Amino acid sequence: FGFLFLPALIHAFYRQLDRALPKDSDQQADPWRSRTPKVKDSFLDVLKMNVKIWSLFQFININYVPQKYECCSCAACLLLWNIYVAIKRR
């Protein structure tokens, strides 16, 4: 079920990241043209890494982390994941 929404969610994250980053002079003229190569360069790498990291993390989180700490461990992993995607996007 997650594989159905995963590409759309990663693309939506990229779009929100583009809004947050400062714009170059070429992006102001035509914002979509300058963003497309960046997305094409890193999208598949991020998608593959997402499947690897989150599958392993959820397995560990569900089986080995105490239930009262699952939310905290998920938030910590999510923070690291967002940092990774932002660095990969740059």
Q: How many residues does the chain have?
A: 90
Q: Which domain holds residue 35?
A: 2-89
Count of structural domains, the chain:
1
The tens digit of pLDDT for each residue in 21-53 reads: 666 655 555 555 555 666 667 777 888 888 888
pTM of the model: 0.64
Residue 17 near residue 53, CB atoms below 8 Å: no
Mean pLDDT of the chain: 78
CA angle 7, 52, 62 (to 5 degrees): 105
Indicate whether 10 pLDDT > 60: yes
